[in-house]
């Protein structure tokens, strides 16, 4: 990393996953920010919590982690975000509760200042489900510098996305990140070739990425493929990574860690193979741990950074 830390923002939801075995703090932008901070950035969580026990517990939990919490807003009217997760015949079923605090993000003067100073901002579709936060996210992105890297991590969660939200977000983004299961759905909603509703192979994923690059001003499409690695596509070239074999604990937060690593190295001007290696190394490490924000030792940080630098 450079001497001066980059300012990286995770903009959107911050919530508790209420699992059968207990609760875990998450939300893609928050997971992203924690990992980005671990990689040497000044990573800011731009979200909103309720003035309630879950909100206070979230702040206490995050205080032990390296992300900047100073600009998390507090809401006296709406509860802290949560997702109820139940198991039905072995399958996880989710209820993303609404309305909650992060549905009412405000573009305050401190947030406008943050936007103007940001080197990168990561946002998704879920926090745009309500018009208040959608307008705030649009305003935040509009207030960023021209050279700010705007990462749209699709993160589709039914029924909280529309064609309009996807089109609008893609028109504002520098990088699009999605997984192989999301690609057909995105192509279908945008009425682009390849939207036939089935998971695509790498060649078809590459074709879908090129269709998106042809339609929107994005510069890079990143497609994660679970334990099969990832695919990065630009208008000029592409790079495919086979993935890092690892014993899996759970996949919670693995995609967000991938996005944070990709963004951090993109800000350094890294090549596609290095971006792919960084994303897969950090994504696989998170997948090997329980939860999205596990403890990270200096030894593990150094080990992974050395592996990435060897590419």
pLDDT tens profile 5-51 = 999 999 999 999 998 889 999 999 999 999 999 999 999 999 999 99
How do the domains of the chain map onto residue ranges? 28-48+55-70+105-309
Higher pLDDT, 85 or 180: 180
* pLDDT recorded at residue 195: 65
Rounded to whole angstroms, the Cα distance separating 31 from 42 reads 14
> Coil, strand or helix: which one is 197?
coil
Secondary structure of residue 103 in the 3-state scheme: helix
The pTM for the full model equals: 0.96
Predicted local confidence at residue 2, as pLDDT: 47
Tokens 């991590």: give the residue. 153
Which pLDDT tens digit goes with each residue over 173-230?
999 999 999 999 999 999 998 766 666 799 999 999 999 999 999 999 999 999 899 9
Could you tell me which CATH class the domain 28-48+55-70+105-309 is placed in? alpha beta
With tokens 């995105």, the residue in question is 186
Percent of the chain with pLDDT over 70: 97
Contact 264, 277 (CB under 8 A): no
Section 138-165 average pLDDT: 97
Q: What are phi and psi of 73, to 5 degrees?
A: -80, 160
Mean pLDDT (the chain) is 95
| DSSP category for residue 147 | T
Task: Say what the pLDDT of residue 191 is.
Answer: 94
The percentage of the chain sitting over the pLDDT mark of 90, rounded to a whole number, equals: 88
Decide if pLDDT at 1 tops 60.
no
Query: Hey, what's the torsion of the CAs at 284, 49, 157, 249, to 10 degrees?
Result: 30
Span 224-243, pLDDT tens digits: 999 899 999 999 999 999 99
Rounded CA gap, 200 and 180, in Å?
Answer: 7
Q: Using CA atoms, how far apart are residues 151 and 140, in angstroms rounded to an integer? A: 13
pLDDT at position 255 is: 95
């Amino acid at each position: 990393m450079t001497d001066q830390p980059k300012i990286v923002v995770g903009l959107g939801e911050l919530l508790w996953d209420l699992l059968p075995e207990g609760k875990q703090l998450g939300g893609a932008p928050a997971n992203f920010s924690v990992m980005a901070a671990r990689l040497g950035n000044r990573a800011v969580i731009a979200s909103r919590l309720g003035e309630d026990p879950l909100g206070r517990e979230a702040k206490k939990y995050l205080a032990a982690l390296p992300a900047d919490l100073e600009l998390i807003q507090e809401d006296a009217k709406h509860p802290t975000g949560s997702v109820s997760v139940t198991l039905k015949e072995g399958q996880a079923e989710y209820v993303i509760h609404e309305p909650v605090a992060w549905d009412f993000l405000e573009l305050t003067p401190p947030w406008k200042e943050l936007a103007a100073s940001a080197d990168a901002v990561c946002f998704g579709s879920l926090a745009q489900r309500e018009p208040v936060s959608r307008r705030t996210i649009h305003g935040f992105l509009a207030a960023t510098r021209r050279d700010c890297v705007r990462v749209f991590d699709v993160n589709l969660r039914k029924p909280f996305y529309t064609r309009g939200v996807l089109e609008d977000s893609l028109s504002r983004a520098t990088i699009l990140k999605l997984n192989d299961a999301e690609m057909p759905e995105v192509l279908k909603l945008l009425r682009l070739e390849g939207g036939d509703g089935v998971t695509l192979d790498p060649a078809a994923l590459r074709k879908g990425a090129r269709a998106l690059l042809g339609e929107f001003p994005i510069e890079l499409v990143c497609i994660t493929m679970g334990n099969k690695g990832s695919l990065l596509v630009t208008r000029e070239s592409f790079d495919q990574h086979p993935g890092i074999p690892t014993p899996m604990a759970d996949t919670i937060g693995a995609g967000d860690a991938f996005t944070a690593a990709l963004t951090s190295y993109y800000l350094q001007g890294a090549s596609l193979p290095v971006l792919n290696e960084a994303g897969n190394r950090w994504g696989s490490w998170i997948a090997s741990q329980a939860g999205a924000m596990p403890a990270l030792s200096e030894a593990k940080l150094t080990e992974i950074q050395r592996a990435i630098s060897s590419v």
